[in-house]
Amino acid sequence: MSKEPGAVHFVLDAAAGTAAVAAIGAPAISKAQSDVIRIGHLTPRTGFLGPLGEYAVQAVDLAVDEINAAGGVLGRRIEALKEDSVNPQTASTKAERMIERDRVACIVGEISSASCLTIAQVAQRTRNLFINTGGNSDALRGSNCNRYMFHVESQNSMYVKTVGRALLAQNMVKGKRWYSLTADYAFGHDLLKVAKRFMEQNGGQFAADELVPTDFSDFSTMLTKIRSARPDMVVSNLAGVQITNFLKQYAEFGLTFPVAGFGFDTAVAWGAGSGNFFGTWPLVWHHLIDTPGSKRFVQAFTARYRRPPENQAWGDYVAMKILAQSMNEIRSTEAVKLIEHWEREPKFDVLKTREGYFRKYDHQMMHEMYAVEALKPNEIKNQWDIYKPSAPTPGANEPLDAIGSTPEENTCTMSA
């Protein structure tokens, strides 16, 4: 998350960093105990991505309890050390401490693509594993890919191709003019690039593409411009609670152009309020998926936290489960051995119809994705089931990597 320079932000960030450093340094954490395997969990828990981070943390707690109840890993309990990653600088400092001081076996988490990059650099330097559960940018799987980073979260290309297929079916691409709003930081820039490539390949064009600072909260000026530009579709490449602001104000100004988004988290729509959700959006997972694994997860999460899990909860839950399962299978917690194992592309239950696997080429998890269509206010029965999901993308007769980026689109050269 890239914040604009500002005195107060600076003070807040600096103090949050200091507080966290103090917390890590506290004597409560003793030296490595042989009966416990520690996993470091970093994710933004404050700021504009904080609402999503909360789901991630809850999912990790649930996964850890389930793993330990099932006998742990190699006969040892696992323990998650969880911290607010705050911003890319703090994320990197905390990752270093977790690895060098707390001797974690692996770092799991993140949502901000910018913080993913700094954590991945630490992981590579210290030869430790980092599983990205929420950073979408293609660059993390391309120009910045590295051997020590694996991605449970889908890349921007997969999001764009999933929603893109739904929009092609709605005839909203060829010959159409889109007006896009893009979050002005690593994630947004990357997403816009992928979205533009999609439009070029499919014969559409952009009426305008606007970059929006991440602390931009009043969209009235933007909505006025959109109205006078009369695009065929308005496209959101925004992130976090900013999407909630956009949805609320779009409804307020009564604009009727169809809306789609290339990045989305269910929590921002749940938080918008009745009449404020519309359009077509991509999801890496949603709580209505009808598989036994998914249902079990939704039930356990809802029983514990009194709300259904959203997509970010799925990412961190599945990452922890895959990690524990793999350590048990190869009977080792060593990063190099796990990397070798995952590069052989074993299949994992990711709570969907088909099993997923980490693609050797760029370490991206290949799995099904979904496009969801907002329900009309009169079709909504309860506050959680607010959209109609598509069938899984890609379809059953296609290989899973049909929606992944190709090596030409996103070149990854793994450095050792």
Partner 1 sequence: MTASLILQQVLNGLLDGVYYLLIALGLSLIFSLGGIVNLAHGAFFAMGAYLTIVLTPHVGFGGAFVGSPVAVALFGMLIERFLFRRFYRSDPILSLLLTFGLAMVAEQTLRMVFGAAPLPYSIPQALRGQIFIGDFVYSRYRGILLLVAVACIAGIWLLLNRTAFGRVVRAGVQNPDMVAALGISLQPYMSAVAALGIGLAGLAGVLLAPIYSVHPAMGQEIITPAFVVVVIGGLGSFRGVVAAAILVGLVKGLIVAAGYAQMSTAAIYLLMLLVLLFRPRGLFGERIQRFE
Question: Residues interacting with partner 1, by CB under 8 A?
Answer: 4-9, 11-12, 15, 45-48, 50-51, 53-55, 184, 208, 210-213, 215-218, 220-222, 224-225, 227-228, 241-242, 244-245, 248-249, 251-254, 267-268, 270-276, 307, 383
What does the alpha-carbon distance between residue 44 and residue 413 come to, in Å, rounded to a whole number?
29
**Least CB distance to partner 1 at residue 113 (A):** 17
**Least CB distance to partner 1 at residue 51 (A):** 4
Pick the closer one to partner 1 by CB: 111 or 173: 111
Query: Which run of H or E residues covers position 13?
Result: helix 7-25
**Least CB distance to partner 1 at residue 408 (A):** 29
CA dihedral 218, 221, 227, 230 (to 10 degrees): -110
Pick the closer one to partner 1 by CB: 208 or 414: 208
Pick the closer one to partner 1 by CB: 12 or 402: 12
Pick the closer one to partner 1 by CB: 170 or 217: 217
Instruction: Calculate Rg over the CA atoms of the chain.
Output: 21
Pick the closer one to partner 1 by CB: 59 or 241: 241
Per the DSSP assignment, residues forming a β-bridge with 209 are: 180
Please tell me the chain's helix, strand, coil percentages from 3-state DSSP, rounded to the nearest 5: 45, 20, 40
DSSP class of residue 279? S
What does the alpha-carbon distance between residue 47 and residue 42 come to, in Å, rounded to a whole number?
14
What does the alpha-carbon distance between residue 190 and residue 139 come to, in Å, rounded to a whole number?
7
Beta strand residue intervals within 256-319, DSSP E: 259-261, 280-283
What does the alpha-carbon distance between residue 246 and residue 220 come to, in Å, rounded to a whole number?
9
**Least CB distance to partner 1 at residue 223 (A):** 8
- Counting every residue written for the chain, the total comes to 416
Pick the closer one to partner 1 by CB: 31 or 306: 306
**Least CB distance to partner 1 at residue 54 (A):** 4
Tokens of 153: 């979260």
**Least CB distance to partner 1 at residue 116 (A):** 20
